[in-house]
Structure 1
Amino acid sequence: MSARRGVIAILTGGGDVPGLNPAIRAVTIRALREGFQVIGIRRGWAGMVDIIRDKKADNSNNYQILTREIVNRAGRTGGTFLHTSRTKPSHVKKADIPEHLQDTYLEDDNDLTAEVLKNLEYLNIDYLIPIGGDDTLSYGVRLCQEGVKVVAIPKTMDNDVPGTDYCIGFSTCVTRTIALTNNLRTVAGSHERFLILEVFGRYAGFSALLPTMAGAANRCVVPEHRFNIEKLTELLSEDRMNNPSRYSIALISEGAMFEGGEMIFENRTTDAYGHAKLGGIGDLVSDEIKKISPKFNNGKKVSVVNQKLGYMVRGGDPDAIDSIVPMAFGNLALDLILKGLYGRLVVLKNGRYDNMPIEVVTSSKKLVDVKQFYNTDRYRPNYESFEMKPLFIMTSEL
């Protein structure tokens, strides 16, 4: 494979979000116009691991040549047409080693970075643009350290990639959360119940805090502050009694923790990045609130409408912001390549597009600044000091 100015590879890793396809489209359209060839790596880092370096091999499941026609067709849709995975090439379990490498890698945990580097060379890839969250991009940091020319684009509906105020997918997540909550409030109001909604957010509570700040819920609990279930019940009971329709709403981050407790997992199996699948905190909160509710409702139990929003907030087409920001991020990535700048993360900071060293992804954590933005007594956002704040209020700085 050859091109006048080189070959650029794009991949998407981790969870899908609306806005990935517009980012792929932006990179591809600009790159082709500038004289590059563009390869789409399929299934995230898994595609880079599974490539068979043989001209006779069928690698169509691992990569494809991208054209204007392909990306224009997909560019207005949600998800990622390149598909995705949570593969981490530096930590591949023996059972997940590709068949053609099983005689070479025999450990329980294997580093296949050498194979990835050979595959990049085999495809004549000059530049690599990974689009993902801190897990996906952490391996981009590793490849950068190995000499690969990497320019990264941040994506995650949790909005928790360090170094940037905004990550692709977050606006649509907030938009969907508000819309779905408003749909369900008619159910809660009809039956005079509490409405408990579990939303994404393993370590960072942005996806619970911002919809609450926008008026979707009365209260929210976030991973950054352990909550007292009796206090939450009392607050929701107060909200319910003050509402003419006799209902109240709380958004619960999936990583939220009871006082003295830990995160709630669906099971203890972990992905390649060591993360067990979260899920169940909304169920536990609902059960406990129902049990405690008579204490704050004249001895009568209040029932709960309990819903895990989950994939409903990450499905479908991107909203306006998740159509515009990926376009800008993709073009920013091409600007950096054209300038000969690598090892960078394209970012939005204080309302302006910029770039940062990619190492910021692994050198810090991006969490809600509880002191500034969260009222720990009232379990709701702080509604003050908005002057000169960026669009989504909370920045990447702690």
Structure 2
Amino acid sequence: MANTKSNYKGVIGVLTGGGDVPGLNPAIRAVTFRAIREGYKVIGIRKGWEGMITIDRSKKLEEQEDAVVLTEQMVNRLGRTGGTFLHSSRTRPDMVKLDRVPDLYKDKYTLDINDMTSEVMLNIDYLGLDYLIPIGGDDTLSYGVHLHSKGVPVVAIPKTMDNDVPGTDYCIGFGTCISRTIELAHELRTSAGSHERFLVIEVFGRYAGFSALLPTMAGAADRCVIPEHKFDIEHLTELMVQDRANNPSKYSVLLVSEGAMFKNGDMIFKGEEADAYGHKKLGGIGDIVSEQMRNISAKYNNGRKIDVINQRLGYMVRSGAPDALDSIVPMAFGNLALDLILKGTFGRLVSLRNGRYDNVPIEVVTSYKKKVDIEKFYDKERYRPRYENFNDKPQLIMTSDY
């Protein structure tokens, strides 16, 4: 085992997995500051769970490429920036494809799909980790659940711009995502209005439509289609034509979740290749919706087709610096994680529920899929949020599953 204990109370490992979002660096900063001041050592694991299978146990800690001792000076400035300075990956150590097995283990792991959890366990011991704080979405954290079941002291922090981690109303990255979606949608209006067109904007959201629904509620769009309810393109086009006609500037706006599906259709994928969690890359639904709406629009517009401005926001909403929410909530989540460690409480997910910080059993991450409650919050006939019964709802209204 590497000599990492010294005079510290314990050693905490922190990693970020899955897609990058603004707010990850503030969370790492919060964990590091609080841990050091409480007498702990913090080791940052680079590239998410991939970093936990690339450790070379024949080398010293300071010689490792994917493990670094974090200091206050290192994380302080970086805490004000977007992305994750520890880097990230979509690796799942118990399902490593042969071509993703590190060179160090090529002779040992030769199957098409390899379970390298034993290496993770050995590397936890090598690094002297007493506690592990993974920061990620339901995919990344599902492996945290797996390690917890094996006795690893895990405290998880939820992160995903889709806001679909169960057990919490808010995930790091969501605030910046919806703020930037609203901002960019309003900027694109100038072109849509100038040319009297439809504006179709594709946003993230594989299984959950929060990232389309909340900006629409805030006035970023006239309509939105989300993964939880398949839409009729004919009816959608009719509504968009009506919206355009009622707008003095003669344009209308639609937000499309990347996981939205046509009536009697399925999700639109870019290709057949899947990541370690079985997810194929989404993208293209906005293009298809735009083309079909343009062709159908003549039926509801006196025989004249309406042109479309089609924009996929993509990484524009997940890059750059965090907004206020994604600067404050990660600070609180990081400190909540340390509170649990100090109490000796593990196997928990820090959370924000009904406006209050809390924690829940980490197993909730894999217990169900968090989605928009369409009966409460989505008008299936009008393809837009329901604006009713807001009393006693959490701050972001539609994001609670409790």
TM-score (normalised: structure 1): 0.99
Q: Which residue of 2 aligns with 1:219?
A: 223
Q: Which residue of 2 aligns with 1:26?
A: 30
Confirm or deny: 8 A CA contact 1:11 1:42 kept in the other structure.
yes
**AA of the residue aligned to 1:169:** G
Q: Which residue of 1 aligns with 2:393?
A: 389
Q: Is structure 2 residue 186 aligned with structure 1 residue 168?
A: no
**How far apart, in 2, do the equivalents of 1:396 and 1:346 lie?**
15
Q: Which residue of 2 aligns with 1:66?
A: 70
2:44 pairs, out of 40, 45, 53, with 40
**How far apart, in 1, do the equivalents of 2:68 and 2:103 lie?**
21
**AA of the residue aligned to 2:20:** D
Confirm or deny: 8 A CA contact 1:138 1:361 kept in the other structure.
yes
Q: Which residue of 2 aligns with 1:16?
A: 20
In the TM superposition, what is the alpha-carbon distance from 1:60 to its structure 2 partner? 3.7
**How far apart, in 1, do the equivalents of 2:65 and 2:259 lie?**
34
Q: Is structure 2 residue 242 aligned with structure 1 residue 238?
A: yes
Confirm or deny: 8 A CA contact 2:354 2:400 kept in the other structure.
no
In the TM superposition, what is the alpha-carbon distance from 1:100 to its structure 2 partner? 1.1
Write the deviation string for residues 347-370 of structure 1: whole angstroms up to 9, x where unpaired.
001000000000000011100000
After the TM superposition, which segments of 4 or more aligned residues of structure 1 sit over 2 Å from their partners? 55-61
1:313 pairs, out of 300, 305, 317, with 317
Aligned pairs for 1:293-312 within 5 A: 293-312=297-316
Q: Which moved more, 1:101-110 or 1:247-256?
A: 101-110
User: Per the alignment, in what secondary structure is the counterpart of residue 23 of structure 1?
Assistant: helix
Q: Is structure 2 residue 153 aligned with structure 1 residue 149?
A: yes
Q: Which residue of 2 aligns with 1:55?
A: 59
In the TM superposition, what is the alpha-carbon distance from 1:59 to its structure 2 partner? 4.8
Write the deviation string for residues 61-120 of structure 1: whole angstroms up to 9, x where unpaired.
211110000110100111000000000001001111111111111111110000000001
**AA of the residue aligned to 1:110:** N
Confirm or deny: 8 A CA contact 2:210 2:399 kept in the other structure.
no
**AA of the residue aligned to 2:389:** S
Confirm or deny: 8 A CA contact 2:55 2:64 kept in the other structure.
no
In the TM superposition, what is the alpha-carbon distance from 1:4 to its structure 2 partner? 2.1
Q: Is structure 2 residue 332 aligned with structure 1 residue 328?
A: yes
User: Per the alignment, in what secondary structure is the counterpart of residue 72 of structure 1?
Assistant: helix
In the TM superposition, what is the alpha-carbon distance from 1:396 to its structure 2 partner? 3.3
User: Per the alignment, in what secondary structure is the counterpart of residue 359 of structure 1?
Assistant: helix
**AA of the residue aligned to 2:387:** Y
Confirm or deny: 8 A CA contact 1:350 1:395 kept in the other structure.
no
Confirm or deny: 8 A CA contact 1:52 1:59 kept in the other structure.
no
Q: Which residue of 2 aligns with 1:343?
A: 347
Confirm or deny: 8 A CA contact 2:61 2:127 kept in the other structure.
no
Q: Is structure 2 residue 1 aligned with structure 1 residue 4?
A: no
Confirm or deny: 8 A CA contact 1:255 1:263 kept in the other structure.
yes
Give the gaps of 5 or more residues in structure 1. none
In the TM superposition, what is the alpha-carbon distance from 1:56 to its structure 2 partner? 5.6
In the TM superposition, what is the alpha-carbon distance from 1:182 to its structure 2 partner? 0.4
Number of residue pairs the alignment of both structures matches: 398
Q: Is structure 2 residue 83 aligned with structure 1 residue 85?
A: no
Write the deviation string for residues 19-51 of structure 1: whole angstroms up to 9, x where unpaired.
000000000000000000000000000000111
Q: Is structure 2 residue 208 aligned with structure 1 residue 204?
A: yes
**How far apart, in 1, do the equivalents of 2:201 and 2:363 lie?**
35
Q: Which residue of 1 aligns with 2:278?
A: 274
Aligned-pair RMSD on alpha carbons?
Answer: 1.0
**How far apart, in 1, do the equivalents of 2:20 and 2:335 lie?**
21
Change (3 A) 1:58 1:267: farther
**How far apart, in 2, do the equivalents of 1:125 and 1:155 lie?**
22
1:262 pairs, out of 262, 266, 274, with 266
User: Per the alignment, in what secondary structure is the counterpart of residue 50 of structure 1?
Assistant: coil
Confirm or deny: 8 A CA contact 1:78 1:316 kept in the other structure.
yes
User: Per the alignment, in what secondary structure is the counterpart of residue 195 of structure 1?
Assistant: strand
**AA of the residue aligned to 1:68:** E
Q: Is structure 2 residue 107 aligned with structure 1 residue 103?
A: yes
Q: Is structure 2 residue 288 aligned with structure 1 residue 287?
A: no
**How far apart, in 1, do the equivalents of 2:79 and 2:320 lie?**
13
Q: Is structure 2 residue 355 aligned with structure 1 residue 354?
A: no
Change (3 A) 1:384 1:209: same
Change (3 A) 1:172 1:139: same
**How far apart, in 1, do the equivalents of 2:182 and 2:167 lie?**
26
Q: Which residue of 1 aligns with 2:372?
A: 368
**AA of the residue aligned to 1:383:** Y
In the TM superposition, what is the alpha-carbon distance from 1:57 to its structure 2 partner? 8.5
